[in-house]
Every structure is written in C-alpha cells, then in structure tokens.
Amino acid sequence: MKKDLKMKWTKYFHYPPSTRSTTDGLRTYDIGNQKLPSVTTILGATKSEDSKQSIANWQAKVGMEQATRIRDQAASRGTTMHKHLEAHVMGAGHLDLTPEGKTAKAMADIIIKKGLCDLSEIWGSEVVLYYPGLYAGATDLVGVYDYEDSIIDFKQSNKPKRKEWIHDYFMQLGAYAMAHNYVHKTEITQGVILMCTPDNYFQKFQVKGKEFIKYQHQFLERVDKYYEQQNN
C-alpha cells in the first residue's frame, strides 16, 4: 500500500561548519581544530587487493582514456543530479538545460517520485558529520525514512547494482550514523541508498538492525587499517 507521507523540516541539531580540502587525492575536513580524513578517503585507501585488481582489469579492458571519460562523465552527472535533489529538498529549483543536465534532472525526478515519497522528516541536508579524532564526511540527508531515523544518500549509477556490489556504500552510511549518534546523542539504526541510472532505472537499498551494525564494524576495521598505513 502506498504511504502518504508529507516531508517536513525539523531542525533538532546544530551541524558545525567545516571546510574541505584535497591533498594528493586525499580529502580531509577541517572541523574546529581537527583535520579529519573523509569516509570515502578511508574506504578508498583500504580497498582489498581484489577490488584494486577488478578496477585495473576494467581499465585495461576499456582503455585508460575511455575509463577516465566514463568516470568523469558519471561524476559530473552525479553532481548535477545531487544539485537537483538538494534544490527540491530546500524548496528551490535548479536549472541546467544541457543534455547532461536534462538527463540528471530526469534521474532526480525518478528518485523524488519513487524514493523521497517515504521521507517524512528532514533534520538536515548536505550535512557534514564527524567522529572526533577519527573521520568526517557529508551525507545527503538525515531524517526519518519509512518511519525510522535514517542516514540517506543519493547515488547515480551507470547500470543497475546488486546489493553485494555496494558494501562500501553501506559502510559509508554506517560511518555517518555512528558519527551522528556519537556527537548528537541519537540512535540512528538505518541507512538508505536511493539510486538511479541514466536510463531511469530506480533502486532503493535499506540496511538496518544487525546488518547495519555489521557494516559499522567493518568500517571501523577499515579505519584501523587506514591509520596503521598512515603511521608506517
């Protein structure tokens, strides 16, 4: 049965200002007097050898020039899609009449129609979260999704994904939830991915409970590995 949820803003929390910087490909956040590595930097630096080899194999198959073009195009399309979605959440509009912009707008509209219909409460949009002394990152939405306190991220994908292919996304959500729970004394126990492809194929992934905790533990193992690498 279709839920009839109306999205509302409830600003329970003060999210601190921050600045982002990238050095040698590593993104960090300056929050107060702390310079913290981003969640995506930690995950990227601690990829398994199998993951690295899979990427290398793909690059060899399509060629480095084509691989770079595909990545750049996907990143640009994803950024534009996010701008449309952020504007929608903020009650504004975003105009981009380029062919890529029109594609991104159509993708955003699908996510709004099929994904954001289950969002009933927004605590923050484009929220920077941090775990003191360990890591920081920005999530697209924090709020109540499908009646549960949640971290929500938007993703563009060139093709549909299987759940087992996107474990890093779930660890990312788990990291943000741990940071929010620690700093703001909440009990967020669900992560949500709302994903769309350029041909408008929509997917929704929800992880919660014990499964969500499992991904949080896996992320903490990656944090330990990252700092071991930095100290060697």
Q: Residues 128-187: pLDDT tens digits?
A: 999 999 999 999 999 999 999 999 999 999 999 999 999 999 999 999 999 999 999 999
- Residue whose tokens read 């159509």: 106
User: Has residue 3 been placed in a domain?
Assistant: no
Residue 205 lies in a domain: yes
DSSP 39: H
- Is residue 1, in this structure, part of any structural domain at all? no
| Residue 92, in any domain of the structure | yes
pLDDT tens, position by position, 19-73: 898 877 788 999 988 999 999 999 999 987 777 777 777 778 778 887 788 777 7
In a domain, 175, yes or no: yes
Look up residue 180 and give its two tokens: 């929010």
CATH number of the domain encompassing residue 41? 3.90.320
- Whether 2 is covered by a domain: the verdict is no
Residue 21 lies in a domain: no
Contacts of 96 (CB under 8 A, 6+ apart): 80, 83, 84, 102, 104, 105
Calpha distance 134→87 (Å, rounded): 31
Q: Which structural domain range is residue 179 located in? A: 8-16+26-231
Cα angle value 62/75/47 (rounded, 5°): 70
181 domain residue, yes or no: yes
pTM exceeding 0.85: yes
Domain count, the chain: 1
Residue 138: closest CA among 93, 185, 190, 82: 82
Contact between residue 131 and residue 182 where contact means Cβ atoms under 8 Å apart: yes
Distance separating alpha carbons of residues 203 and 41, to the nearest angstrom: 25
